[in-house]
A and B are shown apart, each in its own frame.
Chain A
Amino acid sequence: MEELDGEPTVTLIPGVNSKKNQMYFDWGPGEMLVCETSFNKKEKSEMVPSCPFIYIIRKDVDVYSQILRKLFNESHGIFLGLQRIDEELTGKSRKSQLVRVSKNYRSVIRACMEEMHQVAIAAKDPANGRQFSSQVSILSAMELIWNLCEILFIEVAPAGPLLLHLLDWVRLHVCEVDSLSADVLGSENPSKHDSFWNLVTILVLQGRLDEARQMLSKEADASPASAGICRIMGDLMRTMPILSPGNTQTLTELELKWQHWHEECERYLQDSTFATSPHLESLLKIMLGDEAALLEQKELLSNWYHFLVTRLLYSNPTVKPIDLHYYAQSSLDLFLGGESSPEPLDNILLAAFEFDIHQVIKECSIALSNWWFVAHLTDLLDHCKLLQSHNLYFGSNMREFLLLEYASGLFAHPSLWQLGVDYFDYCPELGRVSLELHIERIPLNTEQKALKVLRICEQRQMTEQVRSICKILAMKAVRNNRLGSALSWSIRAKDAAFATLVSDRFLRDYCERGCFSDLDLIDNLGPAMMLSDRLTFLGKYREFHRMYGEKRFADAASLLLSLMTSRIAPRSFWMTLLTDALPLLEQKQTYELMRCLEDLTSRRPVHGESDTEQLQDDDIETTKVEMLRLSLARNLARAIIREGSLEGS
């Protein structure tokens, strides 16, 4: 057996506290597993009634969250758009499209986060509130990871712009700055506010030097004594060379300028220019990239990746992507300082800095509770042509594997399953067969739903499934005595046997009540009539009735005769037909009918009826036959006379 990276998670079920009982289970269609205590021994002796509890365990509970549902729905649209991106596009235009898709996904996550945050605040039950808050932090972590992946793998930012992107990334995710800023600026005397220097420091840590300068000018105004050094610091901040988007300077130029600026800062430190203000001096050290000074600000930095980016900003702003991981690892180590160990999120980010995409996906799969994140991210990265395919037994590559898992999870839900269909469509290897297996299990509670499912199957030429579903619906209709519905379903299923069964029911109903139900359907069978002999008979018999009603007696008579002679009429119906025929007949036809009658009476097969029943029936039958014989004879006589006289005159 292969080694797993971690122990499989153990899910505990509250159960009967007895060592004797075991757990039994069964798979449900929507990935649900029913577990219960059971009692099963080799010697089937004990009949002690056990205490049965049944639990239903679901793998993908997230599917049932209202807010996350929006995430699933909207990301589904983005997913489809991505699959349809023109494969011909290459180079820059393709890259910008892919980046746009990535940003779309992220904005959906953020929207979801925002909504859940609102709900968390508004929650009346603190336990609920806590749960929502933890969901918010999970979503936030997801967005953090995705954003980093976008910068490193999709945007593929080169040295120079790389740092700018990382700065944006950090600013987006460490948001205390804004509320702090509002607090301080909103106060009467900002520079005297308790958190003033914290604010300035964090602005510097985030490379927001313009804003920091503005803060300093307030300080300069408030305490003229330090105005001078504030101005010098402000100048330093203003002159720090940084790559701006429109800038045309080369990396080498930038590096040179930065080197100079760095040396200038160094000189100020040596001269102890800022010795009078400990705050300003520590700011200077930060701007010099002094690790110790940075680490002093752990609380403001709040996490190691902030520390990493700040460090890079002030010590190596033109860092190359491939060198990132050295800094990343050391930043993590320095920040944690041996006091705590890395969390799953830290490992995921580290893997990203190491450009180890597979590791990122693997760790995310383990850490997250559902497949949404890894499925969509992997799919996007696959479109960036970044994944080499590993041959997995399920799904020929990782992308497909994850999409299949995600889509299967959707099928557990009464309406989200429709999204799952599209995902299966874009899994070339096993998507179709997975869809076939799942779609048959969707409960067809309403006609609408059944039609929806059928349409999906028909669009994909899943004829077996169509047939099976139609048969199920036909059976359901029969049980609910909706014969018309049953008939149309069995025709759609091309199920001759069932059509025969339903036709028989129709005919039986007719015998009992003297009229047909669902006339419209039977009248308009068209070529479908050929599906089964019984059905053909039903259609033709109804046609006979119509002709009779329209007084087209000659046609009706011929039709009836052909029905009898062609033998498609069931024997049980012959008496009825003969009775129907009587008023219509001419001489020739009467002979035919008499022959049929003899046929009928001479070969009466016995079908499992008890002796007494048969005798009774025989009595009735005999009487009927006798009457028919009499009527036929009379008819014949009349016909002969009539035809004889007509011919005569």
Chain B
Amino acid sequence: MHDAQMDYYGTRLATCSSDRSVKIFDVRNGGQILIADLRGHEGPVWQVAWAHPMYGNILASCSYDRKVIIWREENGTWEKSHEHAGHDSSVNSVCWAPHDYGLILACGSSDGAISLLTYTGEGQWEVKKINNAHTIGCNAVSWAPAVVPGSLIDHPSGQKPNYIKRFASGGCDNLIKLWKEEEDGQWKEEQKLEAHSDWVRDVAWAPSIGLPTSTIASCSQDGRVFIWTCDDASSNTWSPKLLHKFNDVVWHVSWSITANILAVSGGDNKVTLWKESVDGQWVCISDVNKGQGSVSASVTEGQQNEQ
């Protein structure tokens, strides 16, 4: 299994793996019931991503077979809704944009390109491609939270406020790049963040909690995890802070819903949880370790407390 993602409400879990399948489980009340086994990829599936529920039950998956498939649940059954085959090499990462922008999917591929699929209605998807986003390949994409510039006035229906769409990508060129959509609809590289000395494996843009700062977490083959912050007042200056140097590759970083905890998963078989302390330093608050036969306290407590 390569990836798993909970849906918006934590009631369903989508997983994908080397056996080319995408599976969907119902995980309510601690159960794990298989709802669907989706076949369609011809190679290992690397990542899955749930779209916002206001668009229905939609799941995107990307695979070694260079394809991105968008699955939709209609009348209780899951079907392939769209297939995007615009890449020359494995597609490594998919990420849905904030729902405010509409239904937009970013896909990062080993051919170095990033494609953006926008749903235009009636089963149609419009494709924009950023070629050579990262030399050698792009490993991760992550969208910035939706923030309207200026004041948030209640817009009359039908009129969309002018969002500035941004996302971050991490690649095999050891760089993190920030992309911004221009007024003409084209995507431009806005920033290059350099700090890693090996492939960037994952990037995660933190949810917005109303403060004027933006935060991005990145992790790399070089074992380092950086926290990048930008004070939006002066804009455009991102300063990295080293969270920790691990002894092995770090594969995945992810923010909790209110962005107060960062979870990091690394090659040392551990998932560590980090929190920012009073003076802006990041502190490890917990280790979740894959054990060898010992029983976890929190897991059994959870089971016993379910009366």
**Residues of A in contact with B (beta carbons under 8 Å apart):** 1-2, 4, 8-15, 17, 19, 21-40, 42, 44, 46-50, 52, 54-59, 61-62, 64-66, 128, 131, 390-394, 404, 408, 430, 432-434, 437-438, 440-444, 463-464, 468, 471-472, 474-476, 479, 494-497, 531-532
Contact = CB atoms under 8 A, between A and B. Distances in A.
Contact of B199 (A27, A42, A408, A443): A42
B164 interface: no
B305 A61 contact: yes
Given A2-B283, A23-B271, A62-B305, A392 B251 contact: no
Given A1-B244, A33-B263, A393 B276 contact: yes
Contacts of B6: 26-29, 32, 34
Contacts of A471: 54
Given A11-B289, A479-B56, A25 B18 contact: no
B251 A22 contact: yes
B217 to A, nearest CB: 13
Contacts of A26: 4-6, 254
B182 interface: no
Nearest to A7: B287
Q: Which residue among B19, B199, B210, B266 has the maximum number of chain A CB atoms within 10 Å of its CB?
A: B210
A463 B154 contact: yes
B261 to A, nearest CB: 8
Interface stretch (B127-135, B186-194, B296-304): B296-304
Interface string B145-160: 0000000101001100
B18 to A, nearest CB: 5
Contact of B157 (A4, A13, A66, A494): A494
Contacts of A24: 1-4, 251-252, 265
A471 B56 CA distance: 10
Given A8-B284, A13-B288, A496-B158, A34 B4 contact: yes
Interface in B195-223: 199, 207-210, 221
A387 to B, nearest CB: 14
Task: Name the 6 nearest CB pairs between A and B, nearest first.
Answer: A12-B291, A443-B9, A28-B10, A471-B54, A496-B158, A433-B210
Chain A binding site: helix, strand, loop or mixed by DSSP? Answer: mixed
B290 A472 contact: no
Nearest to B92: A44
B55 A475 contact: yes
A29 B257 contact: yes
Interface residues of B, number: 91
Contacts of A390: 278
Contacts of B90: 44
B8 interface: yes
A50 B19 CA distance: 10
A13 B290 contact: yes
Contact of B290 (A37, A391, A443): A37
A441 B8 contact: yes
A392 B251 CA distance: 30
A430 B209 contact: yes
Given A42-B199, A44-B90, A479-B73, 17 more contacts: A11-B298, A12-B295, A13-B290, A21-B269, A23-B290, A24-B1, A27-B256, A35-B271, A50-B1, A55-B296, A56-B302, A57-B302, A131-B304, A441-B257, A443-B11, A479-B56, A496-B158
A442 B10 CA distance: 9
A42 B199 CA distance: 10
Contacts of A131: 304
Contacts of A442: 9
